[in-house]
Structures are given as C-alpha cells and as structure tokens.
Amino acid sequence: MLDATTAPAGLFTDDNQVTRCVWCRATLPYQQYHDQEWGMPVGDDQHLFEKICLEGFQAGLSWLTILNKREAFRSAFAGFDLDKVAAFDDFDIKRLLLDAGIVRHRGKIASTINDAKRAQEVRQEFGTLATYFWQFEPELAARPSQITHQALQAMATSAQSIAMSKDLRKRGWSFVGPTTMYAFMQAMGLVNDHLEGCAARVRVAVAREEFKSPAAR
C-alpha cells in the first residue's frame, strides 16, 4: 500500500491496490460515495435538488459530516421531493430545528424551503431542473487536459459556477455561492474532477460520454 508520502499528490492507494482521490480516505462509506456517485452525471431532478440543498447545508462544514447525516436529511425533508418541501411552513421549521439528525441551522432550513419554491419556478420555465443546470456544463476545450492535484486546488470556482451562482441568486435562491456551485457541478458530473490516476476517473469519463445532456435534447 502506498502511503501519503509515496502516492502521487492528491491520491492514495488502499490495501487492495485501488487508487483514489485522497479526500475520500477517511471512511469506507466516503470511499463508496467517491467510487459510485461523485462525478457520475445526474439527470434526475430529485437527486439534483437534494444535492444543491445539501451543498448549502455543507457551507462551513465538511461533506463527510453531511454524508453521514444524508439519510436523516432525506427523512426530514420528504425525500427532497421539491413540491413537498415547497409546502413546508413555520411548523416544519420548528420541527426541523428539533431534529438532531440534521444540521439545525435556521437559515439553511429556511433556505431549503425557499429554494424548493424557486426550483418549482425553474422547472416551470425549463421543463426540468436538469435542463436548467446542464446548460452550465463547460465545453470540453475549456477544461484542463489533465486534472492534477495542483490544478484542482486552483479550481475552487469556474466561469460556469460563477454564472450559475449569479443566475440562481437573480432567481431568488440562497446558499448558492460560486464555490458551492462548483462543488455541486463536480458531484453531479457536469465536470470530471477525479484526479489523473484515480480509478474512478475513467469510469466517470465513460459515463459522461454515454450521458445525453438534458440541455441538448
């Protein structure tokens, strides 16, 4: 097994000789999320809505903290059915503030309810949330030819995440800053930011090639 000092920067190799991005090293569930979900292209509105809300809850925290609470979040927020969440009221805010399974932050809870209403408006205009979000997928030519640890560290935002953030804010969404939106783009497969040498990078690249962008339909 390669340790942190001998593995390429930003990567680690486990006992089974599987090389992964080092950010998922902490736990097995984190590695499973990295292998099976992160970067895989998503065209399902409920999944997209869930992730953008959870990215908002992550602000100031680690994604591992949110991942460990994800099932509790799903239970608390009606499976992130955006129509159900849009109907939440003050009673639901009080209920959620008492739920120890989630992040009990009044502003983030209120933001999720607000964003569900804004998501309804986006869906009405574009047909699906996927059609809206995938219009911000960057052209392949605009991406680095190789994603190294050093390159990734320099990409906390992008022109597309800044544009997405700006447009969402104009539409009344909250907790959608450019850095948060870039993390959303990474997770939902609008970009492939698995590092060169990561075992998941090729799988994600193939999945992206096979995925038809909803914005192009």
Q: Give catalytic residues, as residue numbers.
A: 33, 55, 63
- State the Cα–Cα distance between residues 123 and 129, nearest whole angstrom: 5
Is 67:30 a contact under the CB 8 Å cutoff?
yes
Angle at 107 between CA 129 and CA 60, to 5 degrees: 85
DSSP string for residues in 68-111: HTHHHHHHHTGGG-HHHHHT--HHHHHHHHT-TTS---HHHHHH
Q: Residue 12: beta bridge partners? A: 20
- State the Cα–Cα distance between residues 69 and 214, nearest whole angstrom: 30
- State the Cα–Cα distance between residues 161 and 197, nearest whole angstrom: 25
Is 109:96 a contact under the CB 8 Å cutoff?
yes
Evaluated on CA atoms 14, 18, 19, 20, the torsion sign reads: negative
The H or E element that residue 11 is part of is strand 11-13
- State the Cα–Cα distance between residues 151 and 130, nearest whole angstrom: 27
